[in-house]
Amino acid sequence: MDYGRAIFAVLVLISFLSACSTTKDPVERSRAEFSGGDRTQAFARLRQAVRDTPDDPELRAYYIRQRELLTAERLADAERARAAGRLDEAARRYRDAQEIDPDHPRARAGLEAIEADRRRARQFAEAEAAWARNDLATAERLVRALLAGAPNNARARRLLRDIEERAERRAPLAEALTGPLSKPVTLQFRDAPLRVVFEALSHAAGLNFVFDRDVRVDTPVTLFVRDSSVDEVIKLVAVTQQIERKVLNANSVLIYPATPAKQRDYQELVTRSFYLANADAKQAQSLLKQLVKSKDMFIDEKLNLLVIKDTPQAVRLAERLLASLDVAEPEVMLEVEVLEVARSKLRELGLDFPDEIGYGLLRSQQQITQTQTAAGIVSEVVTLPGSEIAPGVVPRAQWGDLTGYVTNPALTLRLRAEDGDTNLLANPRIRVKNREKAKIHIGEKLPVFTTTSTANVGVSASVSYLDVGLKLDVEPAVTLDDEVAIKVALEVSNIVREVPGPSDSLAYQVGTRSATTVLRLRNGETQVLAGLISDEERRSAQRLPGLGDLPLIGRLFSSERNNASKTEIVLLITPRIVRNIVAPSLARADLPAGTDASIGAARLALGPTLPGSLGLWGSGSDAGVPSQAPDALPRRPSLPDDAPLLAPPETAPDGPAVLSIQAPSVARSGERIHVTLDVVVPGSIAGGEAILGFDPLRLEPAGGQPAGNGRISVDLPAGAEHVTVQVPFVVRPGTSGTVDISLEDATVRRSSGETTTPEGSGGVVSIEVTL
């Protein structure tokens, strides 16, 4: 019975121990699940465990750590997908992060940013469509609205640059207006009242004019205009008559005097905030004060924000100026290699004889010695024979005790040879901004103590540190042609010896070698600075007079010491440009800035007239270059001098067809560009074909057409008198320099069925490509 109870107790104990061994701590169990299974399921079980045992601090801390890790991983994946343009995948990863941490602010902000990216993508598609149909005003408006919410959108910035380049290539530049203001009119007035001119424009274009009470409507106006838009005529009359206009809607215009008081009343102002990424807000404010003459500006140095209030034209000019100022500063990586080679050699060989012999009285010296015995320690006084010179004078009675002596040891044989080679290599890499100083110090800081004695206070000590070793100061200046001018100051110092000073102070004698220069290197070029050599050779000898000077055997009575040391410093410096300033576009080299009275206003110019029409005449004489003489114009019935002459635009259906080619003046390697073909055919065009030639090793058609021979065929669509075709190309990666695209051949079919070769075939456009 007792035996059975014992077996039962053992079994119960074993089962209890096994249960204890299999029951794991919740944290350990969760760690095992995270390391060996699905981490999402493991986190769900961990969250449930925290809910079941909310009072376990270790489990809760582990839960918070895992939640942060999983959330950070999903947020990183989402941001990478968003940067690559995969918005659906990014949204899914952001939602995964929200499932782990529903209140995480970055996940909510990421989903909102994706929705904003989708809206901007739709805006960008609309802007590209407007750009493709040559509607520059609509394209620019859409792109600027997009950049207002995303100023760092690279695609939108490139499209805006292309829009501005194409607009500036149009000569002269005119606003793309629609409605009555865009209608072409032909007017001839001689000393007519201003009121009559505007009445004629009102009848011709169906416009409503509202005049300020201070406008002098009886001012005489002389005007001869043919086939120009109503808007251009109004601008010209406004400038010449000292009045201003304000478009109220599509067919209503307000006319008021161009006086400062009236401009304050009628001229609208806008406010724009510029968050600068690279330029300093104070520097930007100074730029706008000098060039735009803006007075109402505010800057926030903490946010690097500039807020401006001015006319829309002035704000537009300020935006372009700030875009040229707010560019990233160039940076360069300097790879420096410093090599110090030191060699030393020491030779000591010979006999050292005593340098003096004395004759005097030596005194004895007593010394106490202790010996350990069985009885204890026994002390004994031992008298040593004369071992030191007796002080004072020697009495006559002790003259007999005088003895000769020499220093101990009396003779030393020196056999010593030392050879030392030292190579010190330092290879630092440092990244420096343009025109900023960088310092490299490799060595030690030696403490130097200075004591100061003050009355009624005592002595105080202070410590200063002396830099010893290698010091290199560099200041790079990156140029636009990928070269780096570097100011280099190299100093190598070492301790020569220690110099004791008063009051147990210690100073150091420091040897130094330095070199300062300014050099200019290409990107990736290595320059070697060498020649900092220190070569020392010292020879000394101790000889017995007479015997040491004997030939051959004189070496037996002398000791020689030869010490030679040589040190050379070699510096290798290699600049590698990390980022350089992008050269400004050639098409935007001259930025229209308006007039001194109207900063940022559009240029006063008339748009191109139709073939066979005239420009502008005044007082009956040519003021421009007409396409035909005034006498060749069709005769019209005589009218009074102040009566308007209205005529519809004339066309020349039998005139020549004109085909022109345009392209961006600058592009980057790997960038997508658009080549524009403009076809003008009097009457209408029924279709046609153009052949473009290019270098297939540097350009690639983006439309998927095969172009292995460097030629591509472009179909010209049917349309009205003016047809525009966009031909996309991609600059191949690694391309740089000038790339040419030529218009080799073209044929145009008129609506009458006639096929003709347009003027302009054989034209070539050049594009400067940068890496």
What is the rounded average pLDDT of the residues 421-445?
83
Q: What percent of the chain has pLDDT over 70?
A: 77
> 641 to each of 25, 109, 189, 203, 217, how far by Cα in Å?
107, 70, 7, 18, 17
What is the rounded average pLDDT of the residues 483-501?
84
Show Cβ contacts of residue 312 under 8 Å, excluding neighbours closer than 6 positions. 268, 270
Domain 270-327+582-599 has CATH 3.30.1370.120: yes
Predicted TM-score (pTM) of this structure:
0.52
Half-sphere exposure of residue 328: CA atoms within 13 angstroms, side-chain side: 8
Measure the N-to-C terminal CA separation of the chain; round to a whole number of Å: 96
Residue 678 β-bridge partners = 660, 724
The predicted-structure confidence for 298-336, as pLDDT tens digits, reads as follows 999 898 999 999 888 888 888 888 888 888 888 899 988
Helix (H, G, I), strand (E, B) or coil at 503: helix
- 202's enclosing H/E stretch is helix 194-205
What totals of helices (H) and strands (E) does the chain contain, helices first? 13, 33
pLDDT number for residue 169? 58
On whether the CB atoms of residues 155 and 124 are closer than 8 A, the answer is yes
pLDDT number for residue 300? 92
Sign of CA dihedral 545, 551, 557, 560: positive
pLDDT number for residue 485? 92
On whether the CB atoms of residues 310 and 296 are closer than 8 A, the answer is yes
**According to CATH, where is 3.30.1370.120 located in the chain?**
270-327+582-599
Taking each helix axis as running N to C, give the angle between helix 194-205 and helix 230-240, from 0 to 180 degrees, rounded to the nearest 10.
170
Domain 184-266 has CATH 3.30.360.10: no
Token digits of residue 14:
């074993």
Distance, CA of 198 to CA of 217 (rounded, Å): 9
pLDDT number for residue 644? 42
pLDDT number for residue 486? 92
Token digits of residue 537:
């050779």
pLDDT number for residue 567? 80
Distance, CA of 413 to CA of 531 (rounded, Å): 40
> Is the confidence at residue 597, as pLDDT, over 70?
no
Prior bond of 409 cis (ω within 30°): yes
- 77's enclosing H/E stretch is helix 57-83
Amino acid, res. 376:
G
Estimate the share of the chain in helix, then strand, then coil, as percent rounded to the nearest 5.
30, 40, 30
CATH architecture of 658-769: Sandwich (2.60)
CA angle 407, 409, 411 (to 5 degrees): 105
The pLDDT confidence band at residue 614, using thresholds 50, 70 and 90, is very low
The pLDDT confidence band at residue 195, using thresholds 50, 70 and 90, is confident
The predicted-structure confidence for 22-44, as pLDDT tens digits, reads as follows 445 677 776 776 676 677 777 77
Residue 564 β-bridge partners = 345, 537
Instruction: Sort strands 616-618 and 527-543 into parallel, antiparallel or unpaired.
Output: unpaired
What is the rounded average pLDDT of the residues 340-356?
80
Distance, CA of 601 to CA of 314 (rounded, Å): 7
Show Cβ contacts of residue 752 under 8 Å, excluding neighbours closer than 6 positions. 683
The set of long-range contacts for 444-447, using a CB threshold of 8 Å and a minimum separation of 24, is 444/468, 444/469, 446/495, 446/508
Distance, CA of 319 to CA of 420 (rounded, Å): 67
Name the region of 323 (left: φ>0; alpha: ψ -120 to 50; beta: rest). Answer: alpha
On whether the CB atoms of residues 46 and 62 are closer than 8 A, the answer is yes
Taking each helix axis as running N to C, give the angle between helix 57-83 and helix 87-100, from 0 to 180 degrees, rounded to the nearest 10.
170
What is the rounded average pLDDT of the residues 509-526?
86
Token digits of residue 554:
């004189």
pLDDT number for residue 607? 57
Can you spell out the DSSP letters for 570-591?
Answer: EEEEEEEEEE-PPPPPGGGSS-
Residue of 381 and 197 predicted with greater confidence: 197
Residue of 608 and 695 predicted with greater confidence: 695
> 133 to each of 46, 128, 391, 671, 725, how far by Cα in Å?
59, 9, 118, 21, 8
pLDDT number for residue 585? 52
- 227's enclosing H/E stretch is strand 220-229
